[in-house]
Amino acid sequence: MSDSGTQSKYSVNKRGFYGDFGGAYIPEMLYPNVKELEDNYLRIIYSESFQKEFRGLLKDYVGRPSPLYHAKRLSEKYGAKIYLKREDLNHTGAHKINNTIGQILLAKELGKKRIIAETGAGQHGVATATVCALMNLECVVYMGAVDILRQEPNVKRMLMLGAKVVSAESGSKTLKDATNEAIRDWINNPVDTHYIIGSVVGPHPYPDLVARLQSVISEEMMEQLQEKEGRNYPDVVVACVGGGSNAAGAFYHYLDNEKVQLVAVEAAGHGVDTDKTAATTARGSEGVIHASKTLLMQTEDGQIVEPHSISAGLDYPGIGPIHAHLFKSGRGTFVSATDEESVAAGFELCRLEGIIPALESAHALAYLKKAKFKKDQVVVVNLSGRGDKDLATYIKWFDEMRK
């Protein structure tokens, strides 16, 4: 993210759009908050003082750079040279912390005293509660009632870290409903509150802000591949897509390098042809969700269709506008993996490499079975998080499989 001036044809334009997608479809009452952010975010995040503090915390607090690990047994099995970008080794267990550290520094610079966030898997909630403790700011996290039940360890973590967790009881009681509640809070508290959005979603400038903060992932990949492969790009980058922040970070510095295939894996749930899915590009159409024009799953009269995925972090009915653009323009390859395929891929990584991945990341790994690689192709799978939070789900499947 040193190249503040670089514009790719896949990055956001001055009006906040990626091709046909993006923008800020906000209620009038939210306008001052969003405008304040839009007017200041680039100046602040590329200032020398911000960069110094951000880089310092990424290194000493998060543990970056995250390793780029050559997974030999996985490579042997799938006939390519497969690397894992180890975001699972970050403090708090996923890529989410890259974004929350950046946004809390931005919030402080804007003089904010109170932080709100939404969370699905609880990873973003934990990452937000963590940086609020670090910076001594009040923290309120909105979370769907269903997710509170299925991600209990993360709820307990947030409470330990001093955050208040508020249950969202509407709709499917998952991520989209938590996001609605957070936006409502922000409207009611415009002056002192910063809303830390957890993915490349929401009104402009959030998708761009979050992508820039997560772009440290591909920035490091370039350096690490240069060292290991003698060239700074792989042939393929694979990442799972919920809202799309880990994918945006892993793709960011390769957007204009057409030699690199960008593979985005969505959650198919029970299957893209069933009504229990979260595969937005397969099942979605153009519309507005959470103040952004993008692809989303909706009925003919524009009602949002409740998504389903075994992984709470992918259980979202839309995708960030950058991904809608990558899909429509053909720059990105969009595929999906079912619950079952992903759990199997998760177990496989445990047995082959001794790494228990997050269920979200297991979706990216499930692509390996579907792909046809050439022998010497270099493939990077972004391992977005670790599986500790998903143990209960894994164990349930494991017991079922042995019956």
Ligand X SMILES: *Cc1c(COP(=O)(O)O)cnc(C)c1O
Q: Where are the alpha helices (DSSP H) in 58-193?
A: 72-78, 96-109, 123-135, 145-150, 152-160, 175-188
19 lies in the site for ligand X, by CB under 6 A: no
List the structure tokens of 244: 């799309």
Q: Is 384 a catalytic residue?
A: yes
DSSP-assigned letters across all residues of 6-39: ---TTS--TTSEETTEE-----GGGHHHHHHHHH
In contact, 316 and 307? CB cutoff 8 Å: yes
Among residues 108 and 237, whose Cβ is nearest to ligand X? 237
Q: Is 171 exposed, middle or buried (0-12, 13-18, 19+ CB in 10 A)?
A: middle
From 173, 342, 384, 389, the catalytic residue: 384
Cβ neighbours of residue 278 closer than 8 Å, sequence gap 6 or more: 242, 266, 267, 268, 269, 297, 307, 308, 309, 314, 315, 316, 317
Contact positions with ligand X (CB under 6 A) in 139-198 = none
- Cβ-proximal residue to ligand X, closest one: 385
Of residues 19, 125, 144, 243, which one binds ligand X by CB under 6 A? Answer: 243
Q: Work out whether 237 is an interface residue with ligand X (CB under 6 A).
A: no
Kindly state the smallest distance separating residue 96's Cβ from ligand X, in Å: 6
The answer to whether 245 is a known catalytic residue is no
> Does 265 participate in binding ligand X (rule CB under 6 A)?
no
| Using rule CB under 6 A, residue 313 touches ligand X | yes
The Cβ-side half-sphere exposure at 193, using a 13 Å CA radius, reads 20
- Our CB check for ligand X shows the closer of 81 and 269 to be 269
* Interaction of residue 358 with ligand X, rule CB under 6 A: yes
The helix/strand/coil state of 356 is coil
Q: Least CB distance from residue 313 to ligand X, whole Å?
A: 3
Q: Specify the residue, 33 or 245, whose C-beta has the smaller distance to ligand X.
A: 245
| Pairing assessment for the beta strands 236-240 and 292-296 based on DSSP bridges | unpaired
CB of 120 to ligand X, least distance (A): 6
Q: Does 16 bind ligand X (CB under 6 A)?
A: no
Site string for ligand X, 56-95 (x = CB under 6 A): --------------------------------------x-
Half-sphere exposure of residue 243: CA atoms within 13 angstroms, side-chain side: 29
> To the nearest whole angstrom, how small is the minimum distance from the Cβ of residue 6 to ligand X?
22
Q: Does 260 bind ligand X (CB under 6 A)?
A: no
Q: How far is the CB of 88 from ligand X (least distance, A)?
A: 7
For residue 87, indicate whether it is catalytic.
no
- How far is the C-alpha of 241 from the C-alpha of 193, rounded, in Å? 28
**Within its chain, how far is the Cα of 330 from the centroid?**
21
Torsion of CA 20, 26, 30, 31, to 10 degrees: 50
* 244 scored as a contact of ligand X (CB under 6 A): yes
360 binds ligand X (CB under 6 A): yes
Query: Does 315 help bind ligand X (rule: CB under 6 A)?
Result: no
- Measured from the Cβ of residue 114, the count of other Cβ atoms closer than 10 Å reads 17
Catalytic positions are: 96, 118, 384
Binding site for ligand X (CB under 6 A): 94, 96, 121, 123-124, 199, 240-247, 313-314, 358, 360-361, 384-385
